[in-house]
Chains A and B, each alone.
Chain A
Amino acid sequence: MASFLAQRLFAALLTILVTTVAVSMLIHLVPGDPVQIMYAQSQGTTPEQLEEVRARLGLDQPLMVQYIQYMGRVLQGDLGRTIRGDQPVLELLLARLPNTLILATSALVIACAIGLVCGFVAAYRRGTWLDTLLMTSAILGVSMPHFWLGLILLFYFAVHLQWLPVAGSGAANLVLPAVTLGVTNAAIIARLTRSSMIDVFDQEFIRTAYAKGLPRALVLYRHALRAGLVPIVTMIGLQFTYMMGGAIVVENVFGWNGVGRMAIQAIFQRDYPLIQGFILMFAVVVVLVSVLMDLLYAWLDPRIRNR
């Protein structure tokens, strides 16, 4: 188990390292002069001021030096300051991050609740009308753009019925974005759960369990579900990453005050320090979640736990 985890930790560190390289070089990939583009929207910036910014961002240094300086600052928790408003990037992001995490987590809970149950039922009743119904809904769900579903829910429940508030960041505001994100992803989870459970149902130990005369509920719960759960857990870790990505879009539909909404504004304003900070932070969250999932996976699967 130790070697498995060491391997995973190494991969995680490598991912973060590559991200820092990519993020620090991001600004140089911008076609044209990034500093001029960044300030294109502010009126009356003098060439001297642009030169000053260039020096402040270290853009006049060799690439290697820039990277080392960038890493030095990042390791001290300094992600730079925003172009608009001159605020510390890290503080801004950390203030909004909990909102995004809350949204992604609630959506994940909804997605798992719906997806696991539907997938399990569809697998168990494979080939029946129930299976067809569930899987047809699932493929429709997979094909639905979540921003569109979000708009429709917003219109119907918030504007038309006025059951829920339209925008804001309170608990009642969480319902619609979480459902939007959860339902579309539930469809993916349902499809994967179904195929994973079908694989398990076809295996010999399930037949053996039935042959021993065990009651159906016990076979399903103790034998099938446990074996089927291992690949599903890995998949759910991946789902969380999707949720984080989906949250970027959904936050913008509902005006949910998370990092995704901030990132889109930053892209519009060409605020590169903020964009860089966002990407780095997103990468760190994704990597942390995947390491956590690996731990869980290692603990769930005795073949790895006892190695």
Chain B
Amino acid sequence: MQNRLEKAIALAGAAHTPAAGVAPSGWAVLLRRMGRFWRSAMSNRGARVGMVLVTVLVLVAFFAPWIAPYPPDEMGAGMSLLTPEMAYPFGTDEFGRDIFSRVIWGARLTIQVGVIAVGISLTVGTLTGLVAGYAGGWTERILMRLVDVVFSFTETLIALAAVAVLGPSLSNAMIAVGIAAIPFYARVAYSVTLVERNRAYFDAAYVQGAGHLRLIFLHLLPNIIPPLIVVATLGVSSAVLAAAGLSFLGLGAQPPSPEWGAMLSAGRDYFNQAPWIMIYPGVAIMITVLAFNLLGDGIREALDPRQTV
């Protein structure tokens, strides 16, 4: 009975009040919700497939030196433009580099892109939305107007502008892609904050005299995290796509980097003689993006079964 009551309170998103009468930080509640959240997400078939693919990707990236038969930039690992065979499962490129090894090493770069780009947009976007929603008044109006303005351009344009300023390189592409997605995260954080600050737990913490920082970071932040997990998971997909696109255009990773977009860009001249140069890096991008899309969709459905896209 006690347990069920607790569950009901946690489900309602309200903090349960221990005997001491101090509102517990939202983090404790979040941690308790996470287990249920996780099980519910993993009951979705798409999310399970996505999770398996993501795990494989991370393992491949981590163990790249052990999995890849050759170093990624070893020229003349085989003859140039060899068709796929046992020794070179994905064939070789124009310099005789083993494409399989390059795709494997490329996974590391892709993970970096995901972590850094999403890290930037998640941190800056969440803070912007959170502060705007919490502060209200002019702060809210100015911040969100600005976010709307930036949002009205496409991510591609903002990323291009950022690369134009910073100069072409993979790390700059990661930063550019991260900046470009900030408005999206800010909007979600903002709209959830508006809902959460009207909840009872927030008032409870407020009347107990919690300060601004405490209200924002101990009470609001943990409660806006679940929807942001969805946004960030789907955000990895778009970040990987966008960064690969920039690298393909020559504005991101530069040769001889085994970044997948850059590999596609370098291989396009040999498409006719050696289509495998173009196939495998593209498939790698697609599987990665698909994995995070499936996972993100699944988590969203678990969070809000009504809102199925």
Known contacts A192-B309, A264-B251, A282-B153, A151 near B268 by CB under 8 Å = yes
Residue-wise interface mask of B (16-41) relative to A, using a CB-CB cutoff of 8 A (1 in contact, 0 not)? 00000000000000000000000000
Residue of A nearest to B283 (CB): A148
Contacts of A286 in B (CB 8 A): 152-154
Q: What is the minimal beta-carbon distance from B46 to any residue of chain A, in angstroms?
A: 8
Of the A-B pairs whose beta carbons lie under 8 Å apart in the complex, a sample of 26, sorted by A's number, is A19-B149, A26-B161, A26-B165, A139-B290, A139-B293, A142-B289, A145-B248, A145-B261, A145-B289, A147-B245, A147-B261, A147-B264, A148-B278, A151-B282, A155-B275, A159-B272, A192-B309, A245-B154, A248-B156, A263-B160, A267-B163, A267-B168, A272-B164, A282-B153, A283-B157, A286-B153
Residue-wise interface mask of B (277-309) relative to A, using a CB-CB cutoff of 8 A (1 in contact, 0 not)? 010001001100110011001000000000111
Contact A143 B286 (CB under 8 A): yes
Please tell me if A279 contacts chain B, counting CB pairs below 8 Å: yes
Interface centre among B148, B157, B163, B278 (most CB of A within 10 A): B157
Segment of A10-18, A48-56, A77-85 engaged in the interface with chain B: A10-18
Residue of A nearest to B152 (CB): A15
Q: What is the minimal beta-carbon distance from A138 to any residue of chain B, in angstroms?
A: 10
Known contacts A139-B293, A192-B309, A148 near B285 by CB under 8 Å = yes
Contact A267 B164 (CB under 8 A): yes
Q: What is the minimal beta-carbon distance from B8 to any residue of chain A, in angstroms?
A: 27
Contact A267 B241 (CB under 8 A): no
Residue of B nearest to A126 (CB): B308
A3 and B288 alpha carbons, distance in the complex (Å): 46
Please tell me if A106 contacts chain B, counting CB pairs below 8 Å: no
Contact B163 A139 (CB under 8 A): no
B-side interface size class: 35 or more
Residue-wise interface mask of A (154-183) relative to B, using a CB-CB cutoff of 8 A (1 in contact, 0 not)? 110001000000000000000000000000
Please tell me if B110 contacts chain A, counting CB pairs below 8 Å: no
Residue-wise interface mask of A (222-265) relative to B, using a CB-CB cutoff of 8 A (1 in contact, 0 not)? 00000000000000000001101110110010000000000110
Please tell me if A36 contacts chain B, counting CB pairs below 8 Å: no
Interface centre among A194, A268, A272 (most CB of B within 10 A): A268
Contacts of B152 in A (CB 8 A): 15, 241, 286-287, 290
Contact A249 B149 (CB under 8 A): no
Contacts of B249 in A (CB 8 A): 249, 252, 264
Residue of A nearest to B156 (CB): A245
Q: What is the minimal beta-carbon distance from A116 to any residue of chain B, in angstroms?
A: 15
Contact A142 B165 (CB under 8 A): no
Please tell me if B244 contacts chain A, counting CB pairs below 8 Å: yes
Residue of A nearest to B50 (CB): A139
Contact A282 B157 (CB under 8 A): yes
Contacts of B153 in A (CB 8 A): 241, 282-283, 286
Q: Which residue of the partner chain, among B149, B157, B278, B282, contacts A245 with CB atoms under 8 Å? A: B157
Please tell me if B250 contacts chain A, counting CB pairs below 8 Å: yes
